[in-house]
């Protein structure tokens, strides 16, 4: 139940504090270092960090690094960097499940000693088969009733490396008839002779998630262990493990803490995929340029596209947390990004598709400089930049129509338009090449219409962006769009990759941008007036060869 505009998790946290069940709240974000973080992880980070911050508690960053084969230190480093960038303060200490392997091992011996765990030497297939089905209870394998001594001996020899992968597993002895399949003697340990990025070759047995995770939480004093809905059935194993862990800690004279697991809906966004396995496939098959491809829902990709941490956090707060899985309209993300960039991105002029305009009555060889505001009136920021103007400018091809449709307020033969911050020009002549392609417009300007002065009777409906040919900077512009054409790319029978959007990246090799941006730091953000929000690419942009990424359009233009 929700109260005071709080989501159901914050409500139960508040209840726990009020009832004195905890003195203070401790949450955690527990990624496995086997890939890069995506926006779904951001939802979890913002939720866990937010609850700790709001209640004056603590937020831990912990690597759930119990799988030697898939994990890597490069992933771990990127995750730490990303969590910091998102602004989730984890207090400087990074926790590692791998640092608890010894405690987990001792607890396993404790369980064996009390007849609560046994070494099963069946094959994977035999274990699976004996577990039964939803309608049929499980059966014991031939090893369920091994003596404590035999179990202890085998388990110690498993640790010592005497057996190959798969020879034995350690299982909890819980309930083979449980209606919850996960309680039918879950696996606690398996043998893996593999190098671990943190513990090296010290271990050749590794704990499984359902066993390791509650112990990690209990060791760190986590109070509320938040995970996604598909772990609902795992909660019973979580509680079983924590209950016995508490006995174990007490037996050793310690004061155990009691974490509880709660589940919330995972984020699924339209027009993208989120699972690490699928993202990895896109990267490995070269369908995107890497983990930080601006089209991916990875945080590295969104960051490179120009999205700020504030916008991501605002999005996560806007969508909230709920108890049922729904897909989120990607328009909400775009809204959060625009809302953030509106007051953050100065306005500059860039022409994506340049068409040369010669202003025939402008004094030859002359130029002048306007002092143009960087911000519109409704954004409370100050500042301006020099904007040079000369007798040859570029406008966008789309802003000229030889045969203008009704309601076209831009330039057409004989028509007038205002050049933003400059003058009103009239199109006197259209110059074409032999193939009939328009290559130049010859126009005249009215000096009395200089921006700021407002002579009578000069009303023009349209204002367009332009760049002085002599002063402008050629640049590359990358127009990013949705990665998939289907709202749910994974729905339906076919291969999800068939739904990739062939136009998700359109590269414009020679756009023209005004010179004021020349020396800005890589990653600087702008609104190119009338075009969209952009940022310079942190990897590829150089002062003499600028590259800009489109972060988001000015409004929703998606029509497919
Ligand atoms: P994926 O399925 O995308 O590979 P994962 O759950 O395997 O993700 P982890 O590194 O284990 O990846 O996730 C760390 C934390 O992030 C977990 O607590 C998990 O619940 C949470 N998380 C992962 N994906 C999402 C999502 N789409 N929405 C909300 N939380 C998520
Ligand atoms: Mg996981
Ligand atoms: Mg996964």
pLDDT in tens, 124-160: 999 999 999 999 999 999 999 999 999 999 999 999 9
pLDDT at 462 over 80: yes
Which ligand has its closest atom nearest to the C-alpha of 46?
1
User: What whole-number distance in Å separates Cα of residue 466 and Cα of residue 417?
Assistant: 11
Is 276 labelled a binding residue?
yes
Q: What is the pLDDT of residue 560?
A: 40
pLDDT at 414 over 90: yes
Percent of the chain with pLDDT over 90: 94
User: What whole-number distance in Å separates Cα of residue 116 and Cα of residue 108?
Assistant: 9
Helix-strand-coil split of the chain, %, nearest 5: 30, 25, 45
Q: What's the order of all strands across the beta sheet hosting 532-536?
A: 347-348, 525-528, 532-536, 546-552, 473-480, 505-513, 350-351
Contact 325, 268 (CB under 8 A): yes
For the record, the structure tokens of 196 come out as: 């671990």
Is 284 labelled a binding residue?
no
Following CA atoms 107, 113, 115, 121 in sequence, which dihedral angle do they give, to the nearest 10 degrees?
80
Percent of the chain with pLDDT over 70: 98
| Ligand 1 neighbour 32 (Cβ under 6 A) | yes
Q: What is the mean pLDDT of the chain?
A: 95
| Span 170-207, pLDDT tens digits | 999 999 999 999 999 999 999 999 999 999 999 999 99
Q: Which of 236, 113, 219, 121 is nearest to 182 (CA)?
A: 236
What residue owns the CA closest to ligand 1's atom 1? 275
Alpha helices in 176-308 (DSSP H): 209-220, 235-251, 276-284, 299-305
Q: What is the pLDDT of residue 396?
A: 98
Burial of 557 (0-12, 13-18, 19+ CB in 10 A): exposed
Q: What's the CATH number of domain 8-264, 1.10.10.10, 3.40.50.620, 3.40.50.880, 3.50.50.60?
A: 3.40.50.620
| Ligand 1 neighbour 276 (Cβ under 6 A) | yes
Least confident of 3-7, 106-110, 116-120, 338-342: 3-7
Among the listed residues 157, 266, 278, 344, the single catalytic one is 266
- Strands 466-468 and 392-396 come out as antiparallel
| Ligand 1 neighbour 70 (Cβ under 6 A) | no
What residue owns the CA closest to ligand 1's atom 23? 41
User: What whole-number distance in Å separates Cα of residue 114 and Cα of residue 121?
Assistant: 20
Phi-psi region of 320 (alpha: psi -120 to 50; beta: other; left: phi over 0): left
Is 406 labelled a binding residue?
no
CB atoms within 10 A of CB 1: 7
What residue owns the CA closest to ligand 1's atom 13? 31
| Ligand 1 neighbour 33 (Cβ under 6 A) | no
| Span 94-110, pLDDT tens digits | 999 999 999 999 999 99
Ligand 1 atom closest to Cα of 37? Answer: 10
For the record, the structure tokens of 520 come out as: 């800005």
pLDDT at 2 over 60: no
User: What whole-number distance in Å separates Cα of residue 3 and Cα of residue 422?
Assistant: 55
| Ligand 1 neighbour 45 (Cβ under 6 A) | no
| Span 219-243, pLDDT tens digits | 999 999 999 999 999 999 999 999 9
Is residue 432 part of the annotated active site? The answer reads no
Question: What is the mean pLDDT of the segment spanning 458-466?
Answer: 88
| Span 70-98, pLDDT tens digits | 999 999 999 999 999 999 999 989 999 99
pLDDT at 4 over 80: no
Q: What is the pLDDT of residue 91?
A: 95
Question: What is the mean pLDDT of the segment spanning 351-358?
Answer: 98
């Amino acid at each position: 139940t929700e109260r005071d505009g709080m989501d159901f998790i914050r409500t139960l946290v508040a209840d726990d504090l009020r009832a004195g069940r905890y003195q203070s709240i401790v949450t955690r974000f527990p990624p496995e270092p086997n890939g890069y973080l995506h926006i779904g992880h951001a939802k979890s980070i913002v939720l866990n960090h937010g609850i700790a911050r709001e209640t004056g508690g603590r937020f831990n960053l912990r690597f759930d690094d119990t799988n030697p084969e898939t994990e890597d230190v490069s992933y771990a480093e990127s995750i730490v960097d990303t969590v910091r960038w998102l602004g989730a303060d984890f207090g400087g200490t990074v926790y590692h499940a791998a640092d608890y392997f010894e405690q987990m091992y001792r607890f396993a011996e404790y369980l064996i000693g009390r007849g609560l765990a046994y070494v099963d030497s069946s094959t994977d297939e035999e274990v699976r088969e004996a577990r039964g089905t939803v309608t049929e209870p499980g059966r014991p394998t031939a090893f369920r009733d091994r003596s404590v001594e035999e179990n202890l001996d085998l388990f110690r020899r498993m640790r010592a490396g005497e057996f190959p992968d798969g020879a034995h597993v350690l299982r909890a002895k819980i309930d083979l008839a449980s209606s919850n399949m996960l309680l039918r003697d879950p696996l606690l340990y398996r043998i893996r002779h593999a190098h671990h990025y943190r513990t090296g070759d010290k271990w050749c047995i590794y704990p499984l998630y359902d066993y390791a995770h509650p112990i990690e939480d209990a060791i760190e004093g986590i109070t509320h262990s938040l995970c996604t809905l598909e772990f609902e059935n795992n909660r019973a194993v979580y509680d079983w493990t924590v209950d016995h862990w508490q006995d174990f800690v007490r037996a050793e004279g310690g004061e155990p803490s009691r974490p509880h697991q709660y589940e919330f809906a995972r984020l699924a966004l339209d027009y993208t995929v989120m699972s690490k396995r699928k993202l990895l496939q896109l990267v490995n098959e070269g369908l995107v340029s890497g983990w930080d491809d601006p089209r991916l829902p990875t945080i590295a990709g969104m960051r490179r596209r120009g999205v700020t941490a504030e916008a991501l956090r605002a999005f996560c707060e806007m969508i909230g947390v709920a108890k049922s899985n729904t897909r989120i309209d990607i328009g909400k993300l775009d809204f959060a990004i625009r809302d953030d960039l509106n007051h953050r991105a100065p306005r500059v002029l860039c022409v994506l598709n340049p068409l040369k305009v010669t202003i025939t009555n402008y004094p030859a060889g002359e130029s002048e400089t306007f002092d143009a505001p960087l911000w519109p009136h409704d954004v409370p920021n100050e500042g301006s930049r020099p904007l040079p103007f000369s007798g040859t400018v570029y406008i966008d091809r789309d802003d000229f129509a030889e045969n203008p449709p009704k309601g076209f307020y831009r330039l057409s033969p004989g028509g007038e338009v205002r050049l933003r911050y400059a003058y009103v020009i009239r199109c006197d002549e259209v110059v074409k090449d032999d193939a009939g392609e328009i290559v130049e417009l010859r126009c005249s300007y009215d000096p009395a219409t200089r921006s700021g002065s407002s002579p009578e009777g000069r009303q023009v409906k349209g204002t367009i962006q332009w760049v002085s040919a002599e002063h402008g900077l050629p640049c590359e512009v990358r127009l990013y769009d949705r990665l998939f054409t289907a709202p749910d790319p994974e729905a339906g029978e076919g291969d999800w990759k068939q739904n990739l959007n062939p136009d998700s990246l359109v590269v414009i090799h020679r756009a023209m941008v005004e010179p004021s941006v020349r020396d800005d730091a890589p990653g600087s953000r702008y609104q190119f007036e009338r075009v969209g929000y952009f940022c310079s690419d942190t990897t590829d942009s150089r002062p003499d060869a600028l590259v800009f990424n489109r972060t988001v359009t000015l409004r929703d233009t998606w029509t497919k």
